[in-house]
Structure 1
Amino acid sequence: MPLVRTGLLATSVAILGMRVTILACKFGLAIFVGRYLDLSSLGVFGLCAGVVALGPSLVGMGMVHLIVRDAVTLPLAELIDLLRHYWSFVTIVYALALAVSFPVTHFLSGSSIWSLVIAITLLEHFGNDVFQLLSNLQKPLLANISAFIRGALWVLVYTPLAIWYPELRSMSALLCFWLAGSMVALALFFWTTRLWPWTATSLAAIDPQRIFSTIRKGFVIYLSDLGFVASQYIDRYLVSFFLGLELTGIYFLYWSAANAVSTFVSIAVLQVQRPILIKAHHHGGDSEHQKLLMPFLGTTLLSTIALGAATGLAFYLVLPYLKQPAIGNFLLAFWLIMAGMAVRNVADFGAMALFTARRDGVMTLTNLASVTGLIVAQSLCLPLMGLYGAGTAMIITFGVITIWRGALLYDPAPSKSPALG
Structure 2
Amino acid sequence: MMVMSMRAAVMGSKFALAIFIAHYLDLSSLGVYGLATGAIAIVPVSVNIGMNHLLMRTAVNAGLQDLVHSLWQYWSFVSAIYILLLAIAAVSAVVFGVASIWILLVAVIYLEHVGNDVFYLLSNRQHHLAANLIAFVRGAAWIAIYMPLAIAFPDMRTLSCLFAAWLMGGVVSMMLFAWLCRSWPWKAFAGRFRMSFVIDTVRKSYLFYVSDLSFVASQYIDRYLVTLFLGIKAAGIYFLFWTVANATTTFLGLVLQQKQRPLLIQAFARGGLPAHRQLAWRFMQISAVATLALSVAITSAFQVALPWLGQAALSGHLPVLWLIVTGMAVRYMADFGAMALFSSHEDRLMTITNVVSVIALVCAQLVLLPTAGLHGAGAAILLTSTGVLVWRYWSLFGSAARSRSDANPDTAASLGA
- Could you tell me which amino acid in structure 1 is paired with residue 358 of structure 2? V
- Could you tell me which amino acid in structure 1 is paired with residue 134 of structure 2? S
**Deviations 1:6-61, CA, capped at 9 Å, x for gaps:** xxxxxxx1111101110000010000011111111101111111111222221111
**TM superposition shift of 1:399:** 1.2
**TM superposition shift of 1:188:** 1.4
Distance 1:72 1:401 in 2: 28
- Could you tell me which amino acid in structure 2 is paired with residue 359 of structure 1? E
Give the corresponding residue for 1:369: 356
Give the corresponding residue for 1:152: 140
Equivalent pair of 2:51/2:205 in contact (CA under 8 Å): yes
- Could you tell me which amino acid in structure 1 is paired with residue 289 of structure 2? L
Aligned-pair RMSD on alpha carbons?
2.5
Superposed, which structure 2 residues align to 1:145-294 within 5 Å?
145-198=133-186, 200-271=187-258
**TM superposition shift of 1:162:** 0.3
Give the corresponding residue for 2:295: 308
Tell which deviates more after alignment, 68-77 or 202-211: 68-77
Give the corresponding residue for 1:21: 9
**TM superposition shift of 1:388:** 1.2
**TM superposition shift of 1:219:** 1.7
Give the corresponding residue for 1:382: 369
Counterparts in 2 of 1:204 and 1:169: CA distance versus 1, 3 Å? same
Counterparts in 2 of 1:27 and 1:90: CA distance versus 1, 3 Å? same
Equivalent pair of 2:222/2:362 in contact (CA under 8 Å): yes
| Of 322, 329, 346, the match for 2:316 | 329
- Could you tell me which amino acid in structure 2 is paired with residue 353 of structure 1? A
Distance 2:66 2:268 in 1: 32
Counterparts in 2 of 1:104 and 1:26: CA distance versus 1, 3 Å? same
**TM superposition shift of 1:238:** 1.2
- Could you tell me which amino acid in structure 2 is paired with residue 118 of structure 1? V
Equivalent pair of 2:50/2:209 in contact (CA under 8 Å): yes
Identity level (%)? 47
Give the corresponding residue for 2:394: 407
Distance 1:115 1:212 in 2: 29
**TM superposition shift of 1:159:** 0.2
**TM superposition shift of 1:83:** 1.8
**2:126 partner SS:** coil
Distance 2:197 2:272 in 1: 36
**Deviations 1:70-101, CA, capped at 9 Å, x for gaps:** 44555544433322221121111112222223
- Could you tell me which amino acid in structure 1 is paired with residue 330 of structure 2? V
Q: So what's the TM-score if we normalise by structure 2?
A: 0.88
Structure 2: tracts of 5 or more residues without a match: 401-417
Distance 2:134 2:309 in 1: 31
Counterparts in 2 of 1:68 and 1:399: CA distance versus 1, 3 Å? closer
| Of 327, 342, 354, the match for 2:329 | 342
Distance 1:22 1:155 in 2: 9
Distance 1:92 1:377 in 2: 37
Counterparts in 2 of 1:293 and 1:142: CA distance versus 1, 3 Å? closer
Give the corresponding residue for 1:111: 99
Counterparts in 2 of 1:284 and 1:110: CA distance versus 1, 3 Å? closer
Query: Is structure 2 residue 57 aligned with structure 1 residue 57?
Result: no
**1:218 partner SS:** helix
| Of 73, 80, 85, the match for 1:85 | 73
Equivalent pair of 2:210/2:351 in contact (CA under 8 Å): yes
Give the corresponding residue for 1:359: 346
- Could you tell me which amino acid in structure 2 is paired with residue 390 of structure 1? A
Distance 2:253 2:130 in 1: 20
**1:258 partner SS:** helix
